[in-house]
Amino acid sequence: MTDYIVPLILFVSMALALGRKENAYDIMLSGAADGLRLIVSILPALILLLCAVHMLQASGAAETISRLLSPVFARFGIPPETALLVLVRPLSGSAALAVGADLMARYGPDSTVGRTAAVMLGSTETTFYTISVYFGAAGIRKTRYTIPAALFADFVGFCMASWTVRWFLPA
């Protein structure tokens, strides 16, 4: 069924355009050109984010930072083993998934750490990626309070994920 969704959407779009006596080909070309312009405006921010995440991981800085911040995370009830996940999640979803998979492989998916990582991955957002995509698409250059508010929301999400696992899914 899912193999037919895109062709069906294209067919219905073309049929509607023909029914309105519009040039469907030109309309679709215009949409594709707008999509390419959007990609060109977003691409530099995406490249910067991916490079920064990989540099942090490759240099060992991410692990050093997570070791230093582990006592802070423990104070808020966040398992210290998930510190790297907390640091990487706002930057990159794919890096966060890799860290989460590593945590689950190391501690087990049914452990407190594994469950906390899974809930964290599902209840937080890749903040900087999302902001760069949406603000870049809208042409907004100054984020004002967006980043601090979003990072605070991520922190609350991390704390609530940890507390929820501890309260409802004890190991």
Amino acid 131 reads I
Q: State the first-to-last Cα distance of the chain, in angstroms, to the nearest integer.
A: 40
Structure tokens at 92: 């990159």
Q: What is the pLDDT along the chain (171 residues), one digit of tens a residue?
A: 778 998 998 889 888 888 888 888 888 889 889 989 888 877 887 787 778 777 877 898 877 887 898 889 888 989 988 888 898 899 878 778 888 888 899 999 999 999 999 999 998 888 888 888 888 888 888 888 999 999 999 999 999 999 999 999 876
For CA atoms 125, 127, 132, 138, the dihedral sign is positive
Residues in the chain: 171
Q: What is the rounded distance in angstroms from the CA atom of residue 165 to the CA atom of residue 53?
A: 27
Amino acid 115 reads R
